[in-house]
């Protein structure tokens, strides 16, 4: 994984080996990560998500879990897509392949996600109250309902991505 984009252009978030989660800022304190005192922690619940994406209740909202496998993930607002870097040599080539990958993606079933405003993407093992002190990214989503769809794509012979598109519903 060779990163070569201008510093600050694309912000990648990585996990320590488990899933990433996008939690609305309004309910960040309710995400307990691996520290939960319940029978199953929030991290345990996130690990049980089957597939590329899933929703988990958190407070009076829902968190979006990026399942399947840990992968460096960046949000590209110009495409309304989370790009998960599964395999590929250079960041520049990977990012240049996104438009064609979006056009040719075989999307899985849509999920609908109600978002009260901006969300924070971080490692599901961390408590939400500590998310901003870890490897994280803030996604400036407007409040409303979003269609979430995901696809595995291979835009080149040695490049594999998972795309998670977030489209606001009218």
Q: Sign of the CA dihedral 160, 161, 162, 168?
A: negative
Residue 75 within a domain: yes
Residue 1 lies in a domain: no
Residue 10 lies in a domain: no
Residue ranges of alpha helices (H) inside 24-122 are 42-47, 91-96, 98-104
**7-57 confidence digits (pLDDT tens):** 457 899 999 888 999 999 999 999 999 986 667 899 999 999 999 999 999
Domain assignment present for residue 11? The answer is no
What's the confidence (pLDDT) of residue 38?
A: 63
Tell me what the mean pLDDT of segment 47-72 comes to.
94
- How big is the chain by its Cα radius of gyration, in Å? 15
Report how many domains make up the chain: 1
On the question of pLDDT at 4 being above 80, the answer is no
Please give the Cα distance from 130 to 152 (Å, whole number). Answer: 31
Question: Does residue 56 form part of some domain?
Answer: yes
Q: Whole-angstrom Cα distance, residue 123 to residue 114?
A: 21
pLDDT tens digits, one per residue of 84-139: 999 988 898 889 999 999 999 999 999 999 999 999 999 999 999 888 888 899 99
Rounded Cα gap, residues 119 and 139, in angstroms: 5
HSE-CB for 72 with a 13 A CA cutoff = 15
Q: For residue 119, which phi and psi values (nearest 5 degrees)?
A: -125, 160
Question: Band of the pLDDT at 68, cuts 50, 70, 90?
Answer: confident
What's the full length of the chain, in residues?
A: 170
Q: pTM to 2 decimals? A: 0.91
In a domain? residue 134: yes
Domain of 28? Answer: 20-168
Residue 12 counted as domain residue: no
């Amino acid at each position: 994984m060779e990163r070569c984009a201008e510093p600050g252009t694309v912000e990648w978030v990585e996990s320590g080996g488990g899933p990433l989660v996008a939690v609305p800022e309004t309910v960040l304190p309710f995400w307990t990560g691996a520290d939960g005192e319940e029978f199953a922690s929030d991290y345990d619940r996130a690990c049980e998500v089957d597939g590329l994406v899933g929703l988990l209740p958190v407070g009076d909202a829902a968190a979006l879990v990026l399942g399947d496998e840990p992968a460096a993930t960046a949000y590209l607002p110009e495409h309304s897509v989370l790009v998960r870097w599964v395999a590929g040599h250079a960041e520049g080539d990977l990012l240049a392949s996104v438009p064609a990958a979006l056009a040719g993606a075989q999307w899985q079933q849509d999920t609908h996600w109600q978002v009260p405003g901006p969300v924070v993407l971080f490692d599901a093992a961390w408590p939400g109250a500590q998310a901003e002190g870890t490897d994280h990214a803030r996604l400036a989503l407007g409040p409303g309902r979003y269609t979430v769809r995901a696809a595995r794509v291979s835009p080149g012979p040695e490049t594999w991505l998972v795309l998670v598109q977030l489209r606001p519903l009218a």
